[in-house]
C-alpha cells in the first residue's frame, strides 16, 4: 500500500489543468468521498498493525498534497482567465497615441477660467468685420496709422470690410446691443499685416476684457489685474502699471509683471529690468461709450487686452512664435501633461 500511495502522490504532483472545469474534475477524481484517496483511507483498516502508523502518516501527507495541488491549479486558471478577459480583441494592432490640447488652447482656457471666477462671461464675434466696429466706434480718427494697409488686412472689393485687428470689435458689438452692467471677456483670433518672424506673426490670439457699470474706477481695474497675475503666474507675482496711450481708453496703461524666471532680480529674459510687459489696459474713453449708445455721464468702465501667445511664452518659455502654428508633433507632445 505504501508503494500505491507514493505512486499516486507523484501522479498528483504532475497534474495540469487549463480551465476551472478541468480542475474540478481532478478534485472529484482524487478528493471526493468516492475518490481515489478516500478509497485508500477505506482500505486503511486492512493494514497490519505494525504498519498503521507509517501508512496513516503517508495518507495524511497525500491528502494534504492533493489539496494544495488543487488550490494551485485553481489559482493558475483564474489568473489566466482574468488576463484573457482584460484583452480587448477589437483594438487595432497598432499603438493608439493620445492627443493633447494645443498650448494656445491651454492658456486661453486658463485665462477664461480665471476671469470667470470674478464674474466675467465669454463674448464672441466675427473675424471678418466692418470698419466701424474695428476702428470708428473705438475712437480711431480717420488718419490713424492702424488704418493703413501696413497693419490691417482689408477686403479688396470693399474697403470698409476687413479682418479684425483686435477683439475690441466684439466689445463694441456688446456695448451697442446690451445695457450695463456689462462684464465680458472676448477671446479670439486676430490678424495684422506684419512680417512673420520668431517674435511676430500675421495672425495671433487675444483675450480682451470689458467691465461697464456705475462708479467703476481705475482701482477696480488694478485689483482684477493683480488677481489675474497671481492666479496665472503664482502668488508671489507683482505688477506695475505704466502710463501709455490707446485711442479707446483714457487714462491708459501698460501692465508689467515681475519676471517669473528671476523673481524680479533681473535676467536676460526680462532684459535685466526684473519686469515683463503682458497687457494694455485703461478706462473706457467716454467717446467710445457715447458711440455705442451708453451714457458716459452715468456709466464708466475699464478694458484690458492681452496676447495669448505672449502669456504662453512667459508660462512655458517658448521663444519662437512660429512654433505655435507649425503643428510640429514633437513640439506639441511637450504639453501632454499641461492643465
The mean per-residue pLDDT over the stretch 49-70 comes to 81
Report d(CA 289, CA 210) in Å as an integer. Answer: 12
The cell for 316 is 512655458
Helix (H) or strand (E) holding 306: strand 300-307
3-state DSSP assignment of residue 143: coil
Among the residue ranges 33-37, 122-126, 135-139, the one predicted with the least confidence is 33-37
* pLDDT above 60: residue 230: yes
Position 113 scores a pLDDT of 94
Strand order in the sheet with 275-284: 121-122, 182-191, 203-213, 300-307, 275-284, 249-258, 239-246
The cell for 284 is 473706457
Confidence of residue 196 (pLDDT cuts 50, 70, 90): confident
Best mean pLDDT range from 54-68, 244-258, 325-339: 244-258
pTM: predicted TM-score of the whole model, two decimal places: 0.68
The mean per-residue pLDDT over the stretch 126-133 comes to 91
What are the tens digits of pLDDT across the range 79-117? 665 555 566 777 777 777 777 788 899 999 999 999 999
Nearest Cα to Cα of residue 227 among 216, 239, 217, 218: 239
More confident residue, 124 or 43: 124
**Domain limits, the chain:** 2-79, 103-335
Contact 172, 137 (CB under 8 A): yes
Position 273 scores a pLDDT of 87
More confident residue, 69 or 168: 168
Phi-psi region of 131 (alpha: psi -120 to 50; beta: other; left: phi over 0): alpha
Rounded-to-10 torsion of CA 68, 73, 78, 79: 100
Instruction: List the end-to-end C-alpha distance of the chain, in Å, as a whole number.
Output: 74
Nearest Cα to Cα of residue 285 among 302, 272, 269: 302
Position 81 scores a pLDDT of 57
User: What number does CATH give the domain 103-335?
Assistant: 3.30.930.10
Per-residue three-class SS string for 20-31 = HHHHHHHHHHHH
What are the tens digits of pLDDT across the range 247-305? 999 999 999 999 877 777 777 767 888 898 999 999 999 999 999 999 999 999 999 99
The cell for 128 is 471678418
What are the tens digits of pLDDT across the range 144-193? 787 776 688 888 777 788 899 999 999 999 999 999 999 999 999 999 88
The cell for 329 is 508633433
Report d(CA 92, CA 203) in Å as an integer. Answer: 39
Position 212 scores a pLDDT of 96
What are the tens digits of pLDDT across the range 197-206? 877 888 899 9
Helix (H) or strand (E) holding 276: strand 275-284
Position 248 scores a pLDDT of 93
Amino acid at each position: 500500500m505504501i508503494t500505491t500511495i507514493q505512486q499516486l502522490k507523484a501522479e498528483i504532483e504532475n497534474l495540469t489543468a487549463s480551465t476551472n472545469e478541468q480542475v474540478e474534475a481532478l478534485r472529484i477524481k482524487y478528493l471526493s468521498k468516492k475518490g481515489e484517496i478516500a478509497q485508500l483511507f477505506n482500505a486503511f483498516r486492512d493494514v497490519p498493525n505494525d504498519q498503521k502508523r507509517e501508512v496513516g502518516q503517508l495518507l495524511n501527507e497525500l491528502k494534504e498534497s492533493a489539496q494544495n495541488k488543487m488550490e494551485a491549479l485553481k489559482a493558475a486558471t483564474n489568473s489566466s482567465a482574468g488576463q484573457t478577459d482584460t484583452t480587448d480583441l477589437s483594438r487595432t494592432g497598432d499603438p493608439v497615441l493620445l492627443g493633447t490640447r494645443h498650448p494656445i488652447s491651454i492658456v486661453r482656457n486658463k485665462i477664461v477660467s480665471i476671469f470667470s471666477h470674478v464674474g466675467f462671461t465669454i463674448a464672441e464675434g466675427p473675424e471678418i468685420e466692418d470698419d466701424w466696429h474695428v476702428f470708428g466706434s473705438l475712437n480711431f480718427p480717420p488718419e490713424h496709422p492702424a488704418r493703413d494697409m501696413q497693419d490691417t488686412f482689408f477686403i479688396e472689393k470693399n474697403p470698409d470690410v476687413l479682418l479684425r485687428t483686435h477683439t475690441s470689435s466684439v466689445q463694441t458689438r456688446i456695448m451697442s446691443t446690451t445695457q450695463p452692467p456689462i462684464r465680458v471677456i472676448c477671446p479670439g483670433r486676430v490678424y495684422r499685416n506684419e512680417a512673420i518672424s520668431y517674435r511676430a506673426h500675421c495672425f495671433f490670439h487675444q483675450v480682451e476684457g470689458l467691465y461697464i457699470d456705475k462708479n467703476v474706477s481705475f482701482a477696480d481695474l488694478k485689483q482684477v489685474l493683480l488677481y489675474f497675475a497671481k492666479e496665472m503666474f503664482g502668488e508671489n507675482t507683482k505688477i506695475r502699471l505704466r502710463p501709455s496711450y490707446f485711442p479707446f481708453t483714457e487714462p491708459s496703461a501698460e501692465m508689467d509683471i515681475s519676471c517669473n524666471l528671476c523673481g524680479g532680480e533681473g535676467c536676460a529674459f526680462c532684459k535685466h529690468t526684473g519686469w515683463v510687459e503682458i497687457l494694455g489696459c485703461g478706462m473706457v474713453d467716454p467717446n467710445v461709450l457715447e458711440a455705442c449708445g451708453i451714457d458716459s455721464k452715468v456709466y464708466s468702465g475699464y478694458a484690458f487686452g492681452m496676447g495669448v501667445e505672449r502669456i504662453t511664452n512667459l508660462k512655458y518659455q517658448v521663444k519662437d512664435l512660429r512654433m505655435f502654428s507649425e503643428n510640429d508633433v514633437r513640439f506639441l507632445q511637450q504639453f501632454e501633461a499641461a492643465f
